[in-house]
Amino acid sequence: MRAADVMECAAYGRRPASALANSLGASLWAMTAMVDDEPHAMMGVAPLNMMEGVGVPWMLGTDRVYDHARDLIRYSPAILGEMHATFAVLENYVSTRNARAIRFLRHVGFEFCEGVSNVGGTAFVRFRKGAI
């Protein structure tokens, strides 16, 4: 798992395997990005508030995900569309030190909310995207 993902998991008191299992177990929709039969990333969306149509998108990956950044960007509209098929709003938190993730999230249309939350000694910022 990428060092940035390990750091974010640790802030929430989780080890990588536990974070993946928890995220998969909570998700209504999830997938694994495979290249040559090797997993490079897992992603999905879990419910935050079904009544208000709010879901929590997540992605945990290996360093190999950077080898396929263009593919990730190219497939993001379809992936986000699948998430938005169930949830009108997608929101989650990302570490303020995770510059690559923040850049990617901005590129695919997420907006960042004011303020920073401290979790486990790590600063996080909330990101959000309304329905397409």
CATH number, residue 125: 3.40.630.30
Q: Give the span between the Cα atoms of 6 and 60, in whole angstroms.
A: 9
pLDDT tens by residue, 16-74 = 999 999 999 999 999 999 999 999 999 999 999 999 999 999 999 999 988 988 999 99
pLDDT at 132: 53
Residue 15's pLDDT band (cuts 50, 70, 90): very high
The range of the structural domain enclosing residue 92 comes to: 3-129
pLDDT at 20: 95
Residue 112's pLDDT band (cuts 50, 70, 90): very high
HEC readout, the chain: CCHHHHHHHHHCCCCHHHHHHHHHHHCCEEEEEEECCEEEEEEEEEEEECCCCEEEEEEEECHHHHHHHHHHHHHHHHHHHHHHCCCCEEEEEEECCCHHHHHHHHHCCCEECCCCEEECCEEEEEEEECCC
Does the pLDDT at position 96 exceed 70?
yes
**Percentage of the chain exceeding pLDDT 90:** 92
**Average pLDDT, integer, range 72-79:** 93
Average pLDDT value for the chain: 95
Residue whose token pair is 């997608």: 90
Does the pLDDT at position 131 exceed 90?
no
